[in-house]
Structure 1
Amino acid sequence: MENKHYDINYLQNSRRLLINLKEHSYKFFRSINNGTIIDLGCGAGNDVIELAKITGKDLKIIGVDHDPVMLQKAKEDSKEINNVDFILSEACPLPFEDGTISGLRTERLIQHLKNPEKVIAEINRILKKDQPLVIIETDWNSLSFYTEFVETQKNVNTYLTNVKVNNGFAAEKLINYLQLSNFRDIKFEIHPFVVNTLKEANEYFWIEKMIQEAVEKGYIKEQEYHAFYKALQKADDENHFACSINLVLASCIK
């Protein structure tokens, strides 16, 4: 787990921040009346459960994830829901036949992939023609703090985008990935999120943990870390703390 930028608690905390964006992403699937919708990289299954609530009972909602601990939690939480299922699988290859899936949603997955183009092509393979794909992704390069320590922040962002996250510029490359796999009617939305306490920044973005790791990896010096974090604490104490990041939503059809 130490190599991941998430665990179950992290996903649950960030869900509270992203709930409106998540609900917005579900709307792309409301017109689908039958077949199967996939939530790829479903984690603990919350989005699978929510999708099942707003779609018809003739639809099957399947969550796919490579983490058995996450899927066990998902199965426990959804045991009373008949039209959901969970499959343990990597993102490529996917255990579905060509052109059999009625819609696919994936959130904050592409950033973790070393070969995102292959996964997007695999998604294209399993989707039926004219059916939707919706991707939510974090733009880690947009992470901003409002202190005088601009260079320290740049180095923290460099650590996040180049080292911590496998594909830290995934959000900026999404349109190109989709075009390479010949998806159509691509729409792109930018959703900014702002938190105003250091506590929230640590809950939602693991800020202190990420800065400490940047020190350990040599991206910032120990004294830079202390000065930077002291400035964040001071801003928090004086009620003018701000931290912002963009998430993007890309929608398209096969």
Structure 2
Amino acid sequence: MEAMIQQIPEISKNDSSCGFKETQWMKIDKSEAPNKYIEYVDEITKQDQIIAHTRYSTRQLRLQPGNKVIDVGCGAGKDLSRLESMVESNGQVCGIDLSREMVECAKSRMNHLPNVTVFCANASMIPIESNYFDASRCERLLQHIPEPAEVVSEMVRITRSGGRIVITDVDWWSSTISVPRSVDRINSIIIKDVVFNQHPSIGLNLRGLMSKNTNIEEIEIFAQCMYTDSLTVADDLLWLGERGKMAVQQGLITEEEYNQWRETIEEMEENGSFVFTINIFTVSGTINKKQ
């Protein structure tokens, strides 16, 4: 399988930012505790709603035994074994990620599967020959990428005509909480105005992004509203508490306003009225490379 991989350029410290401010997910290898990101991905993967959505997105790849598929931004490899089971031992699975920590974790988890290859690469410059794969996918990656259209173009380039492309991402701006009017303004700022990734509404705009690429046809969209009535889940997996703290750090609200908001939603959980929702989208299509 290594023959498919072109010479992999060394990823420089500034390679991922392209003039944009780096987000936490673009600086995993520089962080003091990169394992916390791996643990986060592992935990969110266990959620029933995420499991169901991922099953749908992988079905949309329409993989057959013997196919070749790539997971762009594979992280710690959460979906690589599932893809391998779909293409079977005579197929090929490739995973790439910008984080060396994530890649090493994925390699260790996949070392029992000889037809799975994982390596470090930039999704905007994938070092793989054109038209190699039967299908390509990425999940919750584009929200962190400075130029999502570049990643889509690369995924199209390395996928053969007639192959499939499937992209999943979140619309963070669709987050809703059943808050009273007394903290509605504070809540709106926390949900809409906090900056914590490059493209918080990318999920809602996936179809438009993919439709601009003239090599993608038969585009389908699937949307799911995820929800929880657990404040702990909203904090740990959907970054609710973290976004509230970021709003203070970014000067959008005061510490007092944050405390008022936090106390309110904690009381709501105690009395059983807390509900948090967020929308996730999968957009899929067929590659048709025009001459």
Q: Distance in 2 between matches of 1:2 and 1:168?
A: 12
Match of 2:145 among 113, 117, 128: 113
Match of 2:204 among 172, 195, 200: 172
Q: Which has the higher helix share?
A: 1
Match of 2:268 among 216, 235, 238: 235
Q: Distance in 1 between matches of 2:158 and 2:284?
A: 17
Alignment-derived partner of residue 10 in structure 1? 40
Alignment-derived partner of residue 213 in structure 1? 246
Cα distance change of structure 1 residues 30 and 11 upon mapping to structure 2, 3 Å threshold: same
3-state SS, counterpart of residue 233 of structure 1: helix
Task: Please report the RMSD computed on the Cα atoms of aligned residues, expressed in angstroms.
Answer: 1.7
Match of 1:192 among 210, 217, 225: 225
Correspondence list, 1:51-200, <5 A: 51-148=83-180, 149-160=183-194, 163-182=195-214, 183-200=216-233
5+ residue gaps, structure 1: none
4+ runs deviating over 3 angstroms: none
Cα distance change of structure 1 residues 245 and 21 upon mapping to structure 2, 3 Å threshold: same
Residue deviations 1:161-184 (CA, integer Å, cap 9, x gap): xx2111112112211211221110
3-state SS, counterpart of residue 86 of structure 1: strand
Identity %: 23
Q: Distance in 2 between matches of 1:39 and 1:178?
A: 17
Residue deviations 1:104-133 (CA, integer Å, cap 9, x gap): 110001111111111111111111001111
3-state SS, counterpart of residue 124 of structure 1: helix
3-state SS, counterpart of residue 70 of structure 2: strand
Residue deviations 1:140-171 (CA, integer Å, cap 9, x gap): 010111112221122112234xx211111211
Alignment-derived partner of residue 203 in structure 1? 236
Q: Distance in 2 between matches of 1:174 and 1:22?
A: 16
Q: Is the 8 A contact 1:40 1:105 kept in 2?
A: yes
Q: Distance in 2 between matches of 1:65 and 1:95?
A: 12
5+ residue gaps, structure 2: 1-21, 27-35
